[in-house]
Amino acid sequence: MNRRAALRLGATLLGGSLLPRGFAFAGDTKRWFCIGACDWSIGQAGRTEAMAVAREIGLDGVQVSLGSEADDMKLRRREVQSAYLQAARAAGVGFTGLAIGELNNIPYKSDPRTEQWVSDSIDVAQVLGCRSILLAFFEKGDLKEDLPGRREVIRRLRKVAPKAEKANVYLGIESWLSAEEHLDMIQAVGSSHVKVYYDVANSHRMGYDIYKEIRKLGTYICEFHMKENGFLLGKGAVDFKAVRAAIDDIGYNGCMQIEGAIPPGASMIESYRANYRFLRSIFPERKA
């Protein structure tokens, strides 16, 4: 399916009414935030049922996975996109983000197939109305001690960045790198639409000062994971009020995704309801 047909599909199925609120207000000067969750964190990776689960929790939407090696990144297919759009309409929720988690196993820095995946994900993001695509760089795709790998990622991002710019879709690098290392990569790519996908728990785990990092990265951040490992949000190591202060300082106005944040043995649904309520206490909805 070409890009124009893909956009027609999204517009027809959504009727303009279910574009995620994060997309709709992205250029708005009024401060507001949409809150979603990763489909893998709510037990629905690669499943349209994620939309109904998001409604049950009370989320604004879902960060959906492009797919896996086994299903050939199935969200690239028109019929799968149609099923997701129909599920979103039925549930009354949006698409708060798109992610390619399989890059952890099939690295963007080395596997030739991944270049097409990333390029195609831009078309998918447009159909779903997502503004940011998470590119994962963990496990086999880790860049922390791999300078040749970083150079290859920079080379590949330079090739695909013009397409992202034309579509006004951001490619977000999520990795173990520090703010300075991320900035070095982004500046080497030289594109306004290659940014950092910032995960507060990952950065805390690495020993980075996440509040200083957020301010240092500033407008180079395209989206956030609000995460704790083994705790509800607000009950672990991350100071989310300090995160809000840093976000205010950089003027961020967009989506954030809840990831992890389930205590051992706790119910996912109840944990995510609590996580959503907590984030809304810090990032309230925009008033009419």
pLDDT, tens digit, for every residue of 51-78?
999 999 999 999 999 999 999 999 999 9
Question: Any idea of the CA torsion for 62, 281, 226, 184, to the nearest 10 degrees?
Answer: 110
Q: Which residues contact 146 (CB under 8 A, 6 or more apart)?
A: 109
Question: How far apart, in Å, are the Cα atoms of 161 and each of 53, 187, 262, 283?
Answer: 33, 12, 36, 31
Question: Per-domain residue ranges for the chain?
Answer: 3-282
Average pLDDT over residues 159-167: 98
> Which token pair is 194?
């290659």
Query: Which residues is 62 bridged to in the sheet?
Result: 37, 95
Q: Is the pLDDT of residue 1 over 70?
A: no
pLDDT exceeds 70 at position 40: yes
Could you identify the residue written with the tokens 């992610």? 99
Average pLDDT over residues 82-103: 97
Domain 3-282 classified CATH 3.30.310.50?
no
pLDDT digits (tens, 9 = 90+) for 134-148: 999 999 999 999 999
Q: Which helix (H) or strand (E) holds 198?
A: strand 194-199
Segment (H or E) for 120 = helix 113-128
Return mean pLDDT, the chain.
91
Residues 99, 38 contacting (CB under 8 angstroms): yes
Q: What pLDDT shows up at residue 284?
A: 87
- Say which DSSP state 103 is in: G
Residue 4's pLDDT is: 45
pTM (2 d.p.): 0.90
